[in-house]
């Protein structure tokens, strides 16, 4: 039920990005590793993704930086000048609450689903009408109030077979008879391999992900391929911050955790001294991979550092690098503490 509601709302929300913002965040130094495309097709990720614990963790790590969530977007909507108002505390609180509600709407994550099954449903065969026409007949039911997924599309092939239309045909018909804003009848060239690599090199991840959301259904193999390529690219260049406070951060973390590639993410978070986020991701890892070793050892989930260390010791694939990162983090924290104490003693407190 929760899945369907999320899907419906997701289909309605389409956002485009401000490329200038993305560019300004772009980092210069790349670190290249091998890339591989992983698509969710062996185990179904949907029940895990929609489970309550995973959703709360993903929402928490997405973060709500209002400056980023409500930033200027060039999405062809008319701009309005900013308003300055005097408000009482209560009014301000109310406004903040409204903003939070709106941001949770904007930050709704695209669902993570398994690759859909091909349709091969033959309704009837009538070889006696072979030769009637050399083309296919496509019939679409345009009854009002039907959701696109339940709309009946049937095809009469030249050999007289009446079958249910394939996903591609049905989507094309839906776009013809019931067009969606932001979706094109023919997928943009952006999603072709040669153009996609070029765009990803420029670091416009959010733009690609938003366009993919608008163009494809979330269980379309093409959508899964594109998101996977983008996530791999983000992971390769370690610019997770570009997607922070956007609706793609949750699925990104989910993807990396699902495929056991969270080491770089953890190191990057440790460098930004976000220990709690690290612990959340380790917790997510334990929820997704229920048979992992670090889950067997009962560590207090409120002890972030302990949780992280347990993960590094038992499940991590790059132990040494992570341990170094943890040491560096601890060093920085210790030094800062020392510095504060020194300042205090210098002030004679």
Partner 1 sequence: MPFPAAGGARVPLRTAKCIRFARHGCANRPFYHIVVMDKKSPRQGHVIEQLGTWDPLVNAHGEKLCSINLERTTYWISKGALISEGCSMLLGLAGLLPIHPRVYLLAWRNRRAAAAQKVQEKEDAAQVEN
Could you say which of 133, 273, 331, 341 contacts partner 1 (CB under 8 A)? 133
Per rule CB under 8 A, is residue 131 in the interface with partner 1? yes
Stretch that binds partner 1, among 40-48, 68-76, 135-143, 199-207 (CB under 8 A): 135-143
Q: Is residue 71 within 8 Å of 18, Cβ to Cβ?
A: yes
DSSP 203-227: T-HHHHHHHHHHHS-TT-HHHHHHH
Give backbone dihedrals phi and psi of 127, rounded to 5 degrees, phi first: -65, -15
Instruction: Select 100 or 126, whichever has its Cβ closest to partner 1.
Output: 126
Q: Is residue 161 within 8 Å of 202, Cβ to Cβ?
A: no
Per rule CB under 8 A, is residue 136 in the interface with partner 1? yes
Could you say which of 3, 123, 324, 332 contacts partner 1 (CB under 8 A)? 123
Per rule CB under 8 A, is residue 162 in the interface with partner 1? yes
Per rule CB under 8 A, is residue 243 in the interface with partner 1? no
Q: In this structure, what token pair is assigned to residue 240?
A: 């997770």
Stretch that binds partner 1, among 16-24, 109-117, 150-158, 284-292 (CB under 8 A): 150-158
Q: In this structure, what token pair is assigned to residue 336?
A: 């800062």
Could you say which of 6, 40, 156, 257 contacts partner 1 (CB under 8 A)? 156
Going by C-alpha positions, the residue among 279, 270, 261, 253 that lies closest to residue 318 is: 261
Q: How far is the CB of 92 from partner 1 (least distance, A)?
A: 50
Q: In what order do the strands lie in the sheet with 122-125?
A: 122-125, 161-164, 153-156
Stretch that binds partner 1, among 106-114, 169-177, 207-215, 333-341 (CB under 8 A): 169-177
Could you say which of 35, 124, 198, 271 contacts partner 1 (CB under 8 A)? 124
Beta-ladder partners of 194: none
Could you say which of 3, 152, 332, 333 contacts partner 1 (CB under 8 A)? 152
Per rule CB under 8 A, is residue 128 in the interface with partner 1? yes
Report the distance separating Cα 349 and Cα 345, nearest Å.
6
Torsion of CA 236, 239, 245, 251, to 10 degrees: 0
Binding site for partner 1 (CB under 8 A): 123-124, 126, 128-133, 135-144, 152, 154-156, 162, 169, 172-173, 176-177
């Amino acid at each position: 039920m929760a899945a369907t509601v999320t899907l419906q709302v997701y289909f309605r929300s389409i956002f485009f990005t401000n490329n200038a913002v993305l560019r300004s965040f772009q980092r210069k130094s790349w670190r290249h590793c091998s890339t591989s495309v992983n698509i969710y097709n062996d185990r179904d990720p949907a029940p895990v993704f929609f489970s309550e614990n995973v959703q709360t963790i993903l929402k928490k790590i997405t973060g709500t930086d209002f400056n980023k969530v409500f930033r200027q977007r060039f999405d062809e909507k008319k701009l309005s000048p900013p308003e300055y108002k005097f408000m009482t505390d209560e009014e301000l609180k109310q406004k903040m609450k409204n903003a939070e509600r709106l941001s949770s709407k904007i930050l709704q994550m695209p669902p993570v689903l398994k690759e859909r099954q091909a349709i091969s449903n033959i309704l009837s065969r009538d070889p006696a009408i072979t030769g009637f026409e050399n083309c296919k007949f496509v019939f679409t039911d345009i009854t009002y109030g039907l959701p696109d997924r339940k709309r009946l599309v049937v095809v009469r092939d030249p050999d007289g077979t009446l079958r249910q239309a394939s996903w591609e045909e049905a989507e094309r018909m839906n776009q013809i008879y019931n067009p969606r804003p932001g979706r094109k009848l023919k997928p943009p060239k952006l999603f072709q391999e040669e153009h996609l690599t070029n765009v990803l090199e420029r670091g416009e991840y959010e733009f690609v992900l938003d366009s993919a959301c608008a163009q494809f259904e979330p269980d379309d193999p093409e959508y899964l391929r594109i998101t996977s390529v983008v996530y791999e690219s983000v992971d390769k260049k370690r610019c997770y911050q570009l997607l922070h406070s956007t609706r793609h951060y949750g699925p990104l973390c989910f993807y990396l955790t699902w495929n056991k590639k969270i080491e770089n993410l953890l190191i990057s978070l440790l460098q930004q001294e976000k220990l709690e986020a690290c612990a959340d991701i380790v917790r997510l890892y334990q929820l997704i991979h229920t048979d992992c070793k670090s889950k067997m050892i009962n560590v207090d989930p409120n002890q972030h550092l302990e949780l992280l260390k347990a993960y590094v010791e038992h499940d991590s694939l790059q132990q040494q690098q992570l341990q170094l990162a943890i040491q560096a983090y601890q060093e920085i924290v210790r030094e800062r503490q020392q510095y504060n104490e020194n300042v205090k003693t210098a002030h004679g407190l």
